[in-house]
Amino acid sequence: MAVASELQGEFRPPVPSRVIFGRDKVSDLGQELQQLGGKKVLLLSGRTVAEKTDAVRGVQSALGDACVGVYSGLTQRAPLSTAVEATKMALDGEVDTLVGVGGSTISDAARMIAVMMAEGITSEQRLRELGQQFDGMLEPDLAGKQLPLQVSIPTTLSAGEFNRGGGNILDDQASHKIRVRHPDLYAHLIVLDPEMTVGTPDWLWLSTGVKAMDHCIERLYCKGNQPATDATTLMAAELLFNYLPKSGESFNDLNARLQCLIAAWLSMMGAPSVGSGLSHGLGHVIGVKYGIGHGHTSCITQPYVMEYNRQSSAHQQALLARAAGIDIRGMSDEVAAEAAARVVDEFIMGLGMPHRLRDLEVPKEDFSEIAELTLRDGAGRNNPVAITTKEQIIEVLEMAW
C-alpha cells in the first residue's frame, strides 16, 4: 500500500446522467420525458424482452402517445443490419428520443444508432465502409448536428447504460465490433426499476451480476484506483455479495433486485477514472468470437485474472475480502487476498454459473489467437500486471481451462 505522501491521482466524474431508482419508477416516464423535452420516442429492445416479459409493454403504457414505434430486433451485440433497420425507423418517424429497454446490447447500440441518425447513415454498406476506413472506430464530428435524447431502462446488471462516450454494434460478417466514440454519447436519464427486471432469465440476471462484480474487482486494482472510486466499488461489491444470491426469480424479492441494480450502478462510478483490466479484455474477445454473453465470460475469466494479478494487487484484493464479510484483522494482505479469491470462487459457483473455459466449449487450440486478439483489444492496458506478451495471456487461459 502506498504511504500517504505517495497518494496522488485524478478523479473524473461519472456519466452526467440523471438516475431515478425505486419500484414503479417507470410510471413516471411520461413526466420525465416532458422535462427532458422529448416528444417522439422510438423504443428499442431485444426480442426476448419484448415477447417474453412485460417490460416493453409497461414502458409503452407509461410513454403513451409519445411512443411512435417499437423496434425489438436488437439481438445479442446488435448485428449491423438491425442497427440500420432501427435507424431508418427512427428517421422515418422523426424521432427525437431513444428509449432502450434491456441490457448492455441495447444501450451500446442506442448510442451508435444516435450517431447514425445524426449522420444519416442508413445502409449496411456505408456503415461497413466507415468501419473499414477507420479501423473499426468511428470518431464523428457532430458539431451542429442534433443527437436524439437517450433514456435507458436496464433489465440486467451489465451496467452498460452507465458508459459514456462510446457505443458499438456487431459486424457479423467480419465477426468484430464497429465502435463509435464521442463525449456527447450517454444516457440523459437512467431508470432503475426492479419491476422491469421481472422475467429476465436467471442465467442472464445472475451472470450479469457477476459482470458487475468483475467491474468492482477491476475498479479496485487497475491503474487509476483511488479512495473516491474504492468507496463506491466496495459498497457495490458488498451489495452483490449480500443480495445477488437471493435475487433470482424464485425468491420473488424485488428489494434484492433493486439492491443489485444499485450495486451495478455503483460498480460503474469509477469508470472514467479507472480503466478495465485483463478480464474485460479477454471477455471482449471470447464473447464476440464464440457468441458468449459478457456475464458468462466474467464468470470464467475474473477468478483466474484475479489470481494472476495477486502479486501486484494484494492490498486491494484484501479490501474485497472485507466487503465479503471476512474479518481480515491480523491477516497479511496476501492471506486476505487469497481469502478474497476463495469467496469469489464460492460466490460464482454458488450461483450455478460456468467456471471454466471448457464449460463453454472454448477450444485450447484457439488460445494463441485469443491471446493475440486480446493484446490488440486494448481493454487490458490498465491491468495491475502489465500485459505485453501473448504468453502472459495464454498463461491465464491455461489456468482458466
In angstroms, the CA 30 to CA 32 distance is: 5
Residue-level pLDDT at 295: 95
Amino acid at 258: L
pLDDT at 5 over 70: no
Residue-level pLDDT at 220: 96
pLDDT digits (tens, 9 = 90+) for 120-152: 999 999 999 999 999 999 999 999 999 999 999
pLDDT digits (tens, 9 = 90+) for 220-237: 999 999 999 999 999 999
Per domain, the residue ranges of the chain are 18-196, 201-400
pLDDT digits (tens, 9 = 90+) for 295-318: 999 999 999 999 999 999 999 999
| One fold for 18-196 and 201-400 | no
Total Cβ atoms within 10 A of residue 399: 15
CA-based angle 298:222:261, to the nearest 5? 50
pLDDT at 260 over 90: yes
Amino acid at 313: S
Q: How many CA atoms lie within 13 A of 366 on its CB side?
A: 14
Amino acid at 13: P
Residue-level pLDDT at 7: 79
In angstroms, the CA 299 to CA 395 distance is: 17
What's the rounded mean pLDDT across residues 26-52?
Answer: 96
Residue-level pLDDT at 176: 85
What's the rounded mean pLDDT across residues 90-103?
Answer: 98
Residue-level pLDDT at 8: 82
In angstroms, the CA 194 to CA 125 distance is: 39
Residue-level pLDDT at 3: 41
What's the rounded mean pLDDT across residues 280-294?
Answer: 93
Side-by-side strand order, sheet with 166-171: 137-138, 176-181, 166-171
Amino acid at 267: S
Residue-level pLDDT at 4: 47
Lowest mean pLDDT among 2-6, 16-20, 158-162: 2-6
Is-contact 25 55, C-beta < 8 A?
no
CATH architecture of 201-400: Up-down Bundle (1.20)
Residue-level pLDDT at 172: 85
**CATH (one of 3.40.50.1970, 3.40.50.720, 1.50.10.10, 3.30.360.10) for 18-196:** 3.40.50.1970
- What proportion of the chain, given as a percentage, has pLDDT over 70? 99
Total Cβ atoms within 10 A of residue 85: 17
CA-based angle 323:329:332, to the nearest 5? 95
Q: What is the mean pLDDT of the chain?
A: 94
Is-contact 232 269, C-beta < 8 A?
yes
pLDDT at 156 over 50: yes
pLDDT digits (tens, 9 = 90+) for 322-381: 999 999 999 999 999 999 999 999 999 999 999 999 999 999 999 999 999 999 887 788
What's the rounded mean pLDDT across residues 38-45?
Answer: 98
Residue-level pLDDT at 187: 96
Residue-level pLDDT at 230: 94
CA-based angle 89:95:96, to the nearest 5? 145
Residue-level pLDDT at 9: 83
